[in-house]
Structure 1
Amino acid sequence: MFTKILVAVSTGSADTVLTSAIEAARKYDAQIVALHVVDPTPCYLGAADCNFDLIVEAMTAHGRKVVTHVRNVLDNQARTAEVRMVTLPMSGMTIGRAIAIVADETAADLILLGERSSFPWRWLSEDVASEVVRCSGRPIQVAADRINSRSAHRAGSHWADASTIRI
């Protein structure tokens, strides 16, 4: 059913999402394209006298460590895989749109995302899954980070229908 799976990897959900991607790739005999997006935009929220270039450089170096970890995990699983990293421009691009663009470039059949973080200030951050659905006509799967014992429907992966019109 799926021949290429794009898995968006963040620092907080790398292992959970990779595990789901490897399982799906085995199930469908699909290739994995792993993507890590570096977003320097939160740096704008800091003090005006900070060294912005130094912060972006540190974020990019950390992104390369994430990519190396992802590559090592996928190499150990003997799956056909490609690993990419994208650094967003200073304005005009969201993480979700970047994921949708790479999905188009790679002709991914499925986009696999990690579960949205639940930190108290999450209303400040982008809802990546909603943005991917808005920007892509491809199906997405959100891999749950943990199982909620009160809710049986969260025990597995969640599916979202991405049948919206591409904008």
Structure 2
Amino acid sequence: MVSKMVVAVGTDDAEGLLACALETSRRNDAKVFMVHVVDPLSCLAGAIDFDCSLVMDAMLAQGRQLAATTEEWFNARGCAVQSELLVVPTHGASCGEAIASYANRQQVDLVLLGSRKSDWMQWLREDVAAVVMRNTSASVRRIPGAASKDLGVGSAPHPISASGVSSA
């Protein structure tokens, strides 16, 4: 039974992820927690003598805008969502650990993540889903789907049923 879930929203994977979260919430009457993680290390990589405050401000502004847009998307479809902007500390944690920690604090049953980017830089990036799975007892699912301009529902993946399995 899915009673509470975390939906970790990035900048590239919203449409299928949000559609699946919405349908899963409706089918299970589940509470939805939306998180977006800002990682300040991404602006520090390779920059020894660089003032990152402007870049960090821009990353936070983008995160706040993404959270607001996502909340509007859910609200327009009759689903309340609680959103949180998580900022990863500059040492000792990662995006996956931040999501897992939040999921544990909220005592959720399910964590929905977008699909992993596939490009030549992939080997440099953390496998967020693997880290979340190692650090929480909640079920973790990757949901494919590219973002659209209005975050509208397109060809959405199948929702997660009350038993925790995809209803394909």
TM-score bracket, shorter-length normalisation:
0.7 to 0.9
- Counterpart-to-counterpart distance in 2, 1:138 and 1:95: 16
Q: Following TM superposition, by how much is the alpha carbon of 1:49 offset from its aligned partner in structure 2, in angstroms? A: 2.9
SS at match of 1:59: helix
* Letter of the 2:68 counterpart: T
1:162: which partner in 2?
Answer: none
Gaps of 5+ in 1: 147-154, 160-167
* Letter of the 2:127 counterpart: D
2:140: which partner in 1?
Answer: 140
Q: Following TM superposition, by how much is the alpha carbon of 1:53 offset from its aligned partner in structure 2, in angstroms? A: 1.5
1:88: which partner in 2?
Answer: 88
Deviating above 2 A after TM superposition, structure 1's stretches of 4 or more consecutive aligned residues are 46-50
2:70: which partner in 1?
Answer: 70
Aligned residues, how many? 151
- Counterpart-to-counterpart distance in 2, 1:43 and 1:81: 29
Gaps of 5+ in 2: 147-155, 161-168
* Letter of the 1:33 counterpart: F
SS at match of 1:43: helix
Tell me the TM-score normalized by structure 2. 0.83
2:165: which partner in 1?
Answer: none
Q: CA RMSD in A?
A: 1.9
- Counterpart-to-counterpart distance in 1, 2:136 and 2:19: 23
2:151: which partner in 1?
Answer: none
1:13: which partner in 2?
Answer: 13
